[in-house]
């Protein structure tokens, strides 16, 4: 029995899976929740030590669930929420609570940086993508501006998954896929971009704080003795490069070749495909990230998915089952209730200062069921907006593989199929990012043992073995509802442009 572990540090919690590579099965799973620091100014932060505590708890739970000796785990891979800014001093202390991907407090700093780059076109020319408020770059500028005394101690800039790797191994390194979401990497050449870095800080401090970059498929080291003892692992346990949660979910959903589209109905909504070359998009809203499988990962991200539905669920004091029961009671169109679900601002379309709003209410349609339907429909329309951008780039969706908590709802799956006009299917393993971490750990460990192997073929064989579709969830669009939703989506776009005339349709 040869075991591997995959770790996914997301916004809402950390998840761990233990995989047996000999049998090709997941033996155990564990999870632990995270708290969130937030306010009305757009602040969205977490403490880095919360992640470590959650990692330890989830790891121990997964090992217990698997009923195995943790000493048998050969390697592990870490997935992490993208774009977070973890500033370390020379001794490795975290200097500030971590600003997350969904933090919009740095919108002014992002506008300043984008203007210095020469606007959208200048950013695309310089980096291959447009810097967005959620990216790491504006968080760094905010930190420098608002905390000069802490800035003076900055030694290393890490992303969330990099920080977990640092805690595990003591190595301060980054990986191309996750690094491409900082707004500091040239995604075409896979190098830190010095000009952009010096627009933020020309003293050399930031440039020297950027960690060395590692390619996917490699190991960054073995465990520190303290980490090994805490987790019950052997010190010789390897740690792969890991990557951002979207990059790891791509591996965990088998999205490592052209033709597959993955859609995540998680805290945020994401839509991504795979490319063997850098993506030069017509729309700056398509992020041409690097993949964590040595390719590229064109991606659309909306800020409001289950984060929006959870807000309504909490308001109505319903659990998930109750929310889905209410959803089933409502008809398409929610009785005319319309929502713009921008509880966290929005990235696609680019509306960082937007706020959520309800429209077209009357005494008959203002019901609990219609409120649930309106938030699900509007969140789904956000990803339809992104899918249309993909289609304009020639990226076709023949089948959409669904991940994330929202995908567990049969009612939501049907809405997605009808709105997108495309079949959808879930994965047998819902925790695609954690599974992707485990698969990457197997891949990197095998290449470390035998560097002569053909890397892409090896990864393809691992994905074929471990990634399977849950055919019972396959959902086809209903022709009548698809036509109805086409009209409803166009009505949503009209409402969107009425509220925000700057949106390009």
Same domain, 343 and 410: no
Q: Is residue 113 part of a domain?
A: yes
- Same-domain check for residues 407 and 264: yes
Element (H, E) at 458: helix 455-466
Looking at residue 461, its pLDDT comes to 95
For residue 347, the model assigns a pLDDT of 85
Three-state SS at 309: helix
Query: Looking at the domain assignment, is residue 257 inside a domain?
Result: yes
Over residues 204-231, the mean pLDDT reads: 97
131 and 256 belong to one structural domain: no
Give me the mean pLDDT over the 18-25 stretch.
91
Same domain flag for 329 and 340: yes
For residues 129, 134, 139, 145, the Cα torsion angle rounded to the nearest 10 degrees is 90
Whether residue 341 is contained in a domain is answered as yes
Residue 459 lies in a domain: yes
pLDDT at residue 87, rounded to an integer: 98
**pLDDT at position 206:** 98
First to last CA, the chain: 54
Q: Tell me: do 271 and 399 sit in the same domain.
A: yes
* 467, pLDDT greater than 90: yes
pLDDT at 416 over 90: yes
Q: What percent of the chain has pLDDT over 70?
A: 100
Both tokens assigned to 30: 């564990």
* 264: CATH: 3.30.420.40
Question: Biggest alpha carbon distance in the chain?
Answer: 69
Cα–Cα nearest to 360, from 378, 377, 335: 335
pLDDT of residue 392: 87
Q: Is the same domain home to 285 and 310? A: no
DSSP state of 13: E
Q: Which range among 27-31, 462-466, 500-504 shows the weakest confidence by mean pLDDT?
A: 500-504
Residue range 204-217, pLDDT digits in tens? 999 999 999 999 89
- Mean pLDDT over 146-150 rounds to 98
Instruction: Count Cα neighbours of 473 within 13 Å in the Cβ-side half-sphere.
Output: 24
Do 320 and 268 lie in a common domain?
no
CA distance 3 to 27: 9
Strand pairing of 287-290 and 296-302? Answer: antiparallel
What distance in Å separates the CA atoms of residue 500 and residue 226, rounded to the nearest whole number? 52
| Cα-based distances in Å from 160 to 29, 147, 211 | 21, 20, 13
Residues 467 and 493 in one domain: no
Query: Residue 318: is its pLDDT beyond 90?
Result: yes
pLDDT at 183: 97
pLDDT at 486: 98
Q: How much is the pLDDT for 371?
A: 98
Q: Which residues are catalytic?
A: 245
Q: Number of folded domains in the chain?
A: 3
pLDDT above 80: residue 462: yes
Name the residue among 196, 192, 180, 44 with its Cα closest to residue 106.
44
- Do 468 and 485 share a structural domain? no
What span, in angstroms and rounded, lies between the C-alpha atoms of 211 and 221?
15
On whether both 110 and 198 belong to a single domain, the answer is: yes
Determine, yes or no, domain membership for 378. yes
* Each residue's pLDDT tens digit, 257-315: 887 899 999 888 999 998 888 887 667 889 999 999 989 999 998 999 999 999 999 99
| Backbone angles phi and psi of 88, in degrees to 5 | -115, 145
Its sign, for the CA torsion 55, 429, 222, 444, is negative
Tokens in use for 272?
């991504």
Q: What is the mean pLDDT of the chain?
A: 95
Confidence at residue 430, expressed as pLDDT on a 0 to 100 scale: 81
Helices 119-127 and 107-116 cross at an angle (nearest 10°) of 80
Report pLDDT for 127. Answer: 95
> Which residues in 16-33 are b (16+ Cβ under 10 Å) and which e?
bbbbbbeeeebbbbbbbe
29 in any annotated domain: no
| Residue with the larger pLDDT of the pair 429 and 366 | 366
Structural domain harbouring 443: 252-302+395-475
The reply to whether 224 falls in a domain is: no
User: Per the domain annotation, does 47 fall within a domain?
Assistant: no
Whether a cis peptide bond, with omega within 30° of 0, leads into 264 is no
Q: Flag whether pLDDT at 111 surpasses 80.
A: yes
Q: Which residues, in sequence order, are bridge partners of residue 298?
A: 288
Between the CA atoms of 159, 251, 130 and 192, what dihedral angle is there, to the nearest 10 degrees? 50
Closest CA to 284 of 303, 268, 301, 269: 301
**Does residue 196 carry a pLDDT above 90?**
yes
pLDDT in tens, 393-403: 888 888 999 98
125/195 same-domain check: yes
Alpha carbon distances (Å) from 75 to 172, 395, 405, 446: 18, 35, 27, 10
pLDDT in tens, 127-137: 999 999 899 99
Q: What pLDDT score was predicted for residue 427? A: 93
- The pTM (predicted TM-score) of the whole model is 0.87
Q: Please check whether residues 408 and 288 belong to one and the same domain.
A: yes
Q: Are 159 and 178 in contact (CB under 8 A)?
A: yes
Which of 210, 236, 270 is the last residue in one of the domains?
A: 210
């Amino acid at each position: 029995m040869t075991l591997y572990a995959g770790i996914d540090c997301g916004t809402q919690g950390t998840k761990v899976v233990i995989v047996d590579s000999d049998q090709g099965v997941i033996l155990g799973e564990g999870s632990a929740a995270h708290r969130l620091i937030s306010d009305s100014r757009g602040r969205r932060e977490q403490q880095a030590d919360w992640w470590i505590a959650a990692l330890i708890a989830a790891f121990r739970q997964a090992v217990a669930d698997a009923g195995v000796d943790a000493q048998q785990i050969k390697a592990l891979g870490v997935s992490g929420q993208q774009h977070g800014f973890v500033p370390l001093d020379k001794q490795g202390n975290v200097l500030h609570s971590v600003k997350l991907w969904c933090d919009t407090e740095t919108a002014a700093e992002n506008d300043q940086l984008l203007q210095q780059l020469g606007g959208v076109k200048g950013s695309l020319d310089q980096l291959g993508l447009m810097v967005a408020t959620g990216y790491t770059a504006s968080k760094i500028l905010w930190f420098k501006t608002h905390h000069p005394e802490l800035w003076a101690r900055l030694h290393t800039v890490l992303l969330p998954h990099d920080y977990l790797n640092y805690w595990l191994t003591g190595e301060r390194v980054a990986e191309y896929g996750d690094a491409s979401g900082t707004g500091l990497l040239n995604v075409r050449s896979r190098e830190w971009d010095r000009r952009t870095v010096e627009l933020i800080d020309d003293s050399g401090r930031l440039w020297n704080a950027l960690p060395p970059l590692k390619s996917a498929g490699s190991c960054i080291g073995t465990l520190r003795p303290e980490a090994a003892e805490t987790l019950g692992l052997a010190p010789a346990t390897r740690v792969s490069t890991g990557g951002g949660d979207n990059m790891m979910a791509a591996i965990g959903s088998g999205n490592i070749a052209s033709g597959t589209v993955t859609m995540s109905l998680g805290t945020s909504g994401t839509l991504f495909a795979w490319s063997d070359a850098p993506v030069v998009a017509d729309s700056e809203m398509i992020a041409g990230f690097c993949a964590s499988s040595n390719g590229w990962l064109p991606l659309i991200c909306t800020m409001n998915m289950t984060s929006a539905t959870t807000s309504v669920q909490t308001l109505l004091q319903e659990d998930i089952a109750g929310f889905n029961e209410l959803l089933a009671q409502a008809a398409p169109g929610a009785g005319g209730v319309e929502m713009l679900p921008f509880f966290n601002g929005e990235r696609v379309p680019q509306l960082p200062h937007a706020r959520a709003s309800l429209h077209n209410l009357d005494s008959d349609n203002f019901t609990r069921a219609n409120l649930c339907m309106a938030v699900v429909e509007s969140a789904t329309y956000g990803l339809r907006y992104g899918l249309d951008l993909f289609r304009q780039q020639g990226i076709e969706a023949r089948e959409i593989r669904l991940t994330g908590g929202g995908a567990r709802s049969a009612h939501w799956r049907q809405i997605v199929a009808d709105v997108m006009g495309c079949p959808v299917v879930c994965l047998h393993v819902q925790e695609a990012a954690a599974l992707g971490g485990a698969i990457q750990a197997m891949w990197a460990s095998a290449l470390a043992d035998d560097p002569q192997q053909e890397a892409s073929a090896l990864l393809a064989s691992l994905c074929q073995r471990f990634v399977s579709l849950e055919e019972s969830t396959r959902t086809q669009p209903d022709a009548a509802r698809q036509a109805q939703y086409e009209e409803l989506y166009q009505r949503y776009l009209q409402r969107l442009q009425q509220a925000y005339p700057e949106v390009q349709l």
